[in-house]
Amino acid sequence: NDDVDPAPNNSDDNTAIREEEAELAEETEEARLAADPDGDGITTGEEESADNGFVTDPADIDSDDDGINDGVEIAGGLFVDVGDGAGGTETVNTDPNVTNVDNDGLTDGEELAAGTNPLRADTDGDTLSDGEEVANGTDPTKADTDGDGENDDVDPAPNNSDDNTAI
């Protein structure tokens, strides 16, 4: 078609080559976006767009370096203590771009390892943050670590049930 061809009298105008190159570039980009180079279960296209709610690094399995893979954080595959003292759990999502979502002194990965809730600074509700409890050696999933009747925040010896200060 002479109306579209920039050089209608020149059969060497490379129009067909440019179209093939454009098609190849498009196929290459589609393949790049469909790939998952870091193996976190999220494609490059998903990681580069906010379609999943987050923009993460497609070359880093753990964009925030908190010890939890981005795919798990986004999919909500984290089972955590609900702080009910009975071992109840819930499934939560954490932010794959924030190392410590609840700002309690523990990374989300450390919280998962400790059995605490990365969305609650004080999983057991005793007014001590999960980070403080881990640092103190008390159990961040039990308001009364030693079971003596005094919550850890007021117990002078929260790891010693023989202190009997509450009795």
Amino acid letter, residue 109: G
- Distance between alpha carbon 159 and the CA centroid of its chain, in Å? 32
- pLDDT tens-place string over residues 54-69: 899 999 999 999 998 9
Q: Is 153 helix (H, G, I), strand (E, B) or coil?
A: coil
Largest CA distance in the chain: 103
Determine the straight-line distance between the first and last CA of the chain, rounded to whole angstroms: 97
- pLDDT tens-place string over residues 145-164: 999 999 999 999 888 877 65
The mean pLDDT of the chain is 85
A 10 A CB-CB count for 108 gives: 28
pLDDT above 70: percentage of residues in the chain: 81
Question: Sorting pLDDT into bands at 50, 70 and 90, what band is 85?
Answer: low
